[in-house]
Amino acid sequence: MPLVNDTTAPRIALVGATGVVGTTLIQLIEERGFRYRAIDLVASARSAGREVSVEGRDHRVHDLDGFDFSRTDVAFFSAGGSVSTTWVPKAVAQGALVIDNTSAFRMDPATPLVVPQVNAHELEQRPASGIIANPNCSTIPLVRLLRAVEDRWGIRQAVVSTYQAASGAGYSGIDELREGVRTVLEDPDSPGVSKTFSPSLAFDVIPSIDRRLDDGFTFEEQKMLQESRKILGLPHLDITATCVRVPVVNSHSEAAWIECDAPVDRDELVRALAALDEVTVHDREELGAFPTPRTAGDPNRVHVGRIRVTRTNPRAFWLWAVADNVRIGAALNALQIAEALVERGVL
């Protein structure tokens, strides 16, 4: 059982405990047997007082306003960027080490941005900022694949299109997609439901995620460039992206074109990707096979298919990747950071 009396086990707090990432984090703590000696569930005032079960024990959700982090060893923040901007410094000042799942601190030079399968060396000591940032949900699966490519062939550039699920906007996104689908099915001329997404996501795709920047790109697309450079330690890496919201409940997909410094042999590439931790290559045995958000399988793995070296440029190849954005893209990566910190004696 994860709850233990061992005084070396960390005391944890989950901020945003009633959101889609927070509830998934609770599931993963139970599934993976992450040992802790105390757990506090924290959320906004509208969720405070609710009872949430962890390991069959009911826990009352605390109001973030006024919560005391001095009794917390590690705090997971999954309540949005504005909440993290306000409350993470307060939690750190009270002694907690924060694993933050928002973009608030990702590009802070004093804050490591970590994907344990890629740059776990960043977790050898407590960061100066007291914060470890969790990357964007589309960046995480991409860099897990790019690390092996860079090590073997070097990367000149990458062009990525993402197909991002409604769950990327939390429970409100999931609920709106489902409601919108029902509305449009009942009345095909209906504009659908459009509160979280604009226009309505039902039976449509939206090629714009997050705020639009002055150059026409979106913040989501900029994050993929900046975060990939920082995680991989490649400050001049050339990545450009188009991020698209699609009418899928959960799991993001990506189509990536990657040009390398040297010619790529497909068989060797397939072997290199298949050898990565927690990666499944679907077209290793059947050329052209691919995963989809509904059929990929194990949600704790990155799923890859349609690996093809381009005929006109042997240094370049395409691949298709699918990953559960709530698990791999958020909660699982955060928990694996905490597991690595415990393993290294930092927590």
Q: Which of 252, 260, 282, 303 is catalytic?
A: 252
Residues at the annotated binding site for NADP(+)? 18-21, 46-47, 167-168, 325
CB atoms within 10 A of CB 248: 22
Closest CA to 242 of 316, 308, 164, 311: 164
Residues at the annotated binding site? 18-21, 46-47, 106, 164, 167-168, 245, 325
What residue spans of 94-131 are helical by DSSP H?
116-119
Q: What's residue 2's pLDDT?
A: 85
Average pLDDT over residues 20-42: 97
Report domain extents, the chain: 11-135+330-343, 139-165+205-325
**Topology of the domain comprising 11-135+330-343:** Rossmann fold (3.40.50)
Question: Coil, helix or strand for 258?
Answer: strand
* The listed CATH number (3.30.70.1050, 3.40.50.1100, 3.30.499.10, 3.30.360.10) that belongs to domain 139-165+205-325: 3.30.360.10
Average pLDDT over residues 332-343: 98
Q: How many CA atoms lie within 13 A of 332 on its CB side?
A: 19
For residue 1, name the pLDDT band (cuts at 50, 70, 90): low
Residues at the annotated binding site for phosphate? 106
Q: What's residue 116's pLDDT?
A: 98
Q: How far apart are the first and last CA of the chain?
A: 19
Percent of the chain topping pLDDT 70: 100
Domains 11-135+330-343 and 139-165+205-325 share a fold: no
121 assigned to active site: no
Note the pLDDT tens digit of each residue in 147-195: 999 999 999 999 999 999 999 999 999 999 999 999 999 999 999 999 9
Q: Which of 137, 243, 282, 303 is catalytic?
A: 137
252 assigned to active site: yes
Question: Coil, helix or strand for 81?
Answer: helix
pLDDT at 338 over 90: yes
Note the pLDDT tens digit of each residue in 253-311: 999 999 999 999 999 999 999 999 999 999 998 888 999 999 999 999 999 999 999 99
Gyration radius from the chain CA atoms = 20
Average pLDDT over residues 47-64: 93
Question: Coil, helix or strand for 345?
Answer: coil
Q: What's the token pair of residue 192?
A: 């659908």
Residues at the annotated binding site for substrate? 164, 245
* The CA-based dihedral angle spanning residues 118, 121, 126, 128, taken in that order and rounded to the nearest 10 degrees: -80
299-302: which pairs have CB atoms within 8 A and are 24 or more residues apart? 299/251, 299/324, 299/327, 299/328, 300/324, 300/327, 300/328, 300/332, 301/328, 302/141, 302/144, 302/145, 302/276, 302/278, 302/328
Name the average pLDDT for the chain.
Answer: 96
Percent of the chain topping pLDDT 90: 95
Residues paired with residue 322 on neighbouring β-strands, in sequence order: 253, 303
> Which residues, at least 6 apart from 274, have a Cβ–Cβ distance to it below 8 Å?
280, 281, 284
Q: What's residue 170's pLDDT?
A: 95
For residue 45, name the pLDDT band (cuts at 50, 70, 90): confident
Average pLDDT over residues 14-39: 97
